[in-house]
Structure 1
Amino acid sequence: MTPDDVRRIALELPAATEKSHFGKPDFRVRDRVFATLPEDGNAVIKLTRDQQEMMCGAEPAIFRPVDGGWGKQGWTVAVLAAADETTLRSALVTAWRNTAPITLRKAFDLAGG
């Protein structure tokens, strides 16, 4: 997968927009960041700590916590070169769900579990 794939999938999500975070592309829902594209060719997504632990344990070649305090808050690197579309889409939808207001999630039937 590539940064362009992240952009395409992220912007398909309801009310998602692309802006910039410290000069790097980011993806937001209602002005809250759910994913970023740092310059290293990977993506960073917003997960809960439990989701992060599950994804990193299940797919360690794809997911790892961001270094430092941000990683302890659930921010997770997705190694795009190792990801397939299904896995990347699932991670981005999860990050979107974690960020979108409940009314928006329900309106688009993406409330999840």
Structure 2
Amino acid sequence: MQTVDSVEACEIEVQKHPGLVVLYGGKDCQVCHALKPKLQAAVTEQFPRMQMRYLDCHQPGAMCAQSGVMSLPTVQIYFNGQKSFEAVRTFSVASVLAAIERPYKLLFD
């Protein structure tokens, strides 16, 4: 999972990739650190054409509030530049995978 350093860089990634998962986290967010490898492994295994990016909201200049991110962790899923799903604070990897499944099949199969 590549790290992006600003919301602007994240917006460029959203436009560049037809399928994108963005995880917003923070250096002090233990749930984020536990979730990141599990989410990455599951998405990579089940949806190999999806791209993944990580944005550290505690990094200077990240300004996650511009993207509407007020709580961590937050996952946003984009297809063809449009946000199709957002999960905030309490969610499971399975719920994220379920949200990807149908749009992924329509786009890539």
TM-score, normalised relative to structure 2: 0.29
Relative contact order higher in (CA < 8 Å, ≥ 6 apart): 2
TM-score (norm 1): 0.28
